[in-house]
Chain A
């Protein structure tokens, strides 16, 4: 396998501990790589470095053998990009934005634009300012996918998309992958990238915490549990439940982070009267609190 994206000791130091530090990362050609981290961890900084939009304090980044900074222009012919913060195009129509970017890129065909626009159900005849956040995101996706680039760099690409169009996005990613496109997707939600990613890297406070196959990270999967009992909670039984951590008890309410199968948990609760049981996927911050504690 050939390396598509490689960073060596890549560092962008904004001072006061903000930025990304000594990042060593490798993504193979044709791979879909999930780049995960809580807000402010350094994901967008990494992506801007890969795009040559900001300059590294030290270290280097190469994409397809080209230097991300020095060869930025040549590289952009091969890269599709979705920014983390959407630009403002005011009174332009979507079709005018696409025509303008098509003029700058030179590799955007009307046919491809039409195909992606139809898949995303994006009317290009409307003014940009009239677009909802989701539609602006769709336009950013269209501009990234339609040129059929060799590398896609997507910064939180599903932000604002409804579930239906999230599925369409996953379909676009799978199709691109089938064409051999290398894709780096940043996100702060684990479940979002597990649909499509081969490997996942997790960044925290500017440092790459871990990289691995999705199944290797399965141990990180957890649920935030909230239980409200009708009477006093069976504290001893709860504390004995395997995989139930960070337990907090307040009056009749018990909350904590749960990893593993649900059966032991449900069995432990069977003899108690429960008025509310809530399970949700925790944020990455919550996972990190448990995983690295």
Chain B
């Protein structure tokens, strides 16, 4: 039913019977409620992050001007090599400068991706769950429904950002270097504006495709692309005026916490206007389209009726049937990672050359400890550590799909065929490994070709070995993920995601902050070792053993549990 933003006759009667304000409040409460998990997760994780970073600065930067100056010099040099990830470093001898460089850029990126998930949830996820139909049938207009949904997210995001800032401010106060509250609030406004842009963009994309998953994938790739566009510009690549297209660039123009810095009113206004325009476009598109459909519908292409099963032979083959079902998703991941791989490899030479010309002891110690001595090693450490995280997150997404198989009745359908529960577990994990092999192969090929074209000579055998060694990591994650999914499907995704992210940061921070080795060794990635420079068959065997143990536990858990919603 096309409603055109006007409530139905029944709806008008229904709304008239209740005060409009009460309806509005109810809708807003529901909108806020739908974001409460994201609110709790972001507020908790980012508050802890802000607290640790600010307290950490006080611990590592020293407490006298000379130590601070040395620290700032060392970190600034390091920061200039990490501009593909973090904002350009400035005033690193101050708490505010350090946090702007080390913390707020990362926090803004996390908020942007949360907003992206929330936007696709509001624009498509609620519809998939039948909630939109329910609300519209209760007489709420589409415009009002979506407007309140946007307002709900804006409020929740503001709360989360405020809590994060308070946590960071408390950490700074503990570190005896309190942050000025006014500029801190302005920093929050800049993050909030960026977050709303990501939400609005995701809302628009959700109107153009039929599933939340597709919307999340497309919006994610675009937002990552915009982030990389700004990162490339930060790293010295001449992208010209196109840089203005990146909301991350607009966000980074505001530096209210730095000495002499301020909120860039024009850039922040541009973010706000962009968010507003995107939200309006998203709402208008939502009003204009059919429920369950997309904004742009082509002419019906199919004229003949089909009575027979699909002829795709892969659909009838064990394991490959699962891979075949996810072919678009796998290709999207492979291409996304290939782009990222090409970008990181393309800036390798510049960064290593800059490092070689420095004689900062801390940096040398960091890179030596991380095993970086040459271009090839740099590729090994930077690219493969990034790949490990991303391939783990790919596995986490698969685990999410396994949990959904159960919730959405597909597992019940599969088990009503002559298929053992053990076979389901083994096939799923095998399918994940095949998909990971494809993703790793494509992205590694991108690294190899880019390296060759920029004059970096990668040792072919070692590089292939290092790429192949990523698969045992994926297997370990898949085994653990399925074991958890068989026990608590809803917990599995969060637990595995935490394992991946915490493991990644433990690996990255240990050499940077000279933490004890055991911190790094708690990460599963520690077992991957540094295969670009030396073999570590013990670590690989341990990863495989973890994968086998996880698979065994998953088979037992699957056999013992009840299936069905």
Chain B neighbourhood of A13, CB < 8 A? none
The 0/1 profile, CB within 8 Å of B marked 1, for residues 139-160 of chain A is 0000100000000000000000
CB distance from A39 to the nearest CB of B (A): 15
Chain A neighbourhood of B210, CB < 8 A? 91, 129
Say whether A36 faces chain B, with CB atoms less than 8 Å apart.
no
Which parts of B311-328 form the interface with A (CB within 8 Å)? 311-312, 315-318, 321, 325
Q: B427: nearest residue on chain A (CB-CB)?
A: A104
Say whether B419 faces chain A, with CB atoms less than 8 Å apart.
yes
Say whether B415 faces chain A, with CB atoms less than 8 Å apart.
yes
Q: How far is the CA of A85 from the CA of B407 in the complex (A)?
A: 11
Residue of B302, B309, B419, B563 touching A104 (CB-CB under 8 A):
B419
B420–A96 touching, CB < 8 Å: no
A101–B409 touching, CB < 8 Å: no
A114–B307 touching, CB < 8 Å: yes
Say whether B368 faces chain A, with CB atoms less than 8 Å apart.
no
Chain A neighbourhood of B417, CB < 8 A? 76, 101, 104-105
B316–A99 touching, CB < 8 Å: yes
The answer to whether residues A76 and B413 also contact, given A99-B312, A123-B305 and a CB cut-off of 8 A, is no
Q: How many residue pairs at the A-B interface have CB separations less than 8 Å?
A: 121
Say whether A74 faces chain B, with CB atoms less than 8 Å apart.
yes
Chain A neighbourhood of B317, CB < 8 A? 103
Say whether A285 faces chain B, with CB atoms less than 8 Å apart.
no
CB distance from A160 to the nearest CB of B (A): 15
Say whether B418 faces chain A, with CB atoms less than 8 Å apart.
yes
Chain A neighbourhood of B304, CB < 8 A? 125
CB distance from A106 to the nearest CB of B (A): 7
Q: How far is the CA of A159 from the CA of B199 in the complex (A)?
A: 39
Say whether B299 faces chain A, with CB atoms less than 8 Å apart.
no
CB distance from B476 to the nearest CB of A (A): 28
Q: A95: nearest residue on chain B (CB-CB)?
A: B310
Say whether A262 faces chain B, with CB atoms less than 8 Å apart.
no
Residue of A74, A92, A94, A113 touching B418 (CB-CB under 8 A):
A74
B302–A125 touching, CB < 8 Å: yes
Q: How far is the CA of A55 from the CA of B563 in the complex (A)?
A: 9
B419–A76 touching, CB < 8 Å: yes
Residue of A77, A81, A102 touching B316 (CB-CB under 8 A):
A102
Q: A86: nearest residue on chain B (CB-CB)?
A: B409
Q: How far is the CA of A106 from the CA of B292 in the complex (A)?
A: 34
The answer to whether residues A113 and B308 also contact, given A73-B420, A76-B419 and a CB cut-off of 8 A, is yes
B307–A113 touching, CB < 8 Å: yes
Range for the number of chain B residues in contact with chain A: 35 or more
The answer to whether residues A96 and B418 also contact, given A55-B562, A103-B317, A125-B302 and a CB cut-off of 8 A, is no
CB distance from B73 to the nearest CB of A (A): 55
Q: A100: nearest residue on chain B (CB-CB)?
A: B315
Q: How far is the CA of A236 from the CA of B71 in the complex (A)?
A: 101
The answer to whether residues A123 and B306 also contact, given A83-B416, A85-B565 and a CB cut-off of 8 A, is yes
Chain B neighbourhood of A101, CB < 8 A? 413, 417
B413–A87 touching, CB < 8 Å: yes
The 0/1 profile, CB within 8 Å of B marked 1, for residues 118-129 of chain A is 100001111001
Q: How far is the CA of A88 from the CA of B413 in the complex (A)?
A: 10
CB distance from B96 to the nearest CB of A (A): 48
B309–A125 touching, CB < 8 Å: no
A88–B302 touching, CB < 8 Å: no
Say whether B42 faces chain A, with CB atoms less than 8 Å apart.
no
Q: How far is the CA of A96 from the CA of B311 in the complex (A)?
A: 8
Chain B neighbourhood of A4, CB < 8 A? none
Q: How far is the CA of A52 from the CA of B419 in the complex (A)?
A: 12
Centre residue among B317, B418, B562 by max chain A CB count within 10 A: B418
Chain B neighbourhood of A75, CB < 8 A? 418
The answer to whether residues A96 and B306 also contact, given A104-B418, A105-B417 and a CB cut-off of 8 A, is no
Chain B neighbourhood of A124, CB < 8 A? 306-309
B308–A95 touching, CB < 8 Å: yes
Say whether B560 faces chain A, with CB atoms less than 8 Å apart.
yes
Chain A neighbourhood of B211, CB < 8 A? 90-91, 129
Chain A neighbourhood of B306, CB < 8 A? 93-95, 123-125
A-B contact pairs, 14 of them (CB 8 A): A53-B563, A54-B562, A74-B418, A76-B419, A81-B416, A83-B413, A86-B409, A98-B310, A99-B309, A104-B418, A104-B419, A114-B307, A123-B305, A124-B308
Chain B contact residues, CB within 8 Å of chain A? 210-211, 292, 302, 304-312, 315-318, 321, 325, 408-410, 412-420, 560, 562-565
Which 8 pairs of residues, A with B, have the shortest CB-CB distance? A103-B316, A87-B409, A125-B306, A54-B562, A104-B417, A76-B418, A88-B408, A99-B309
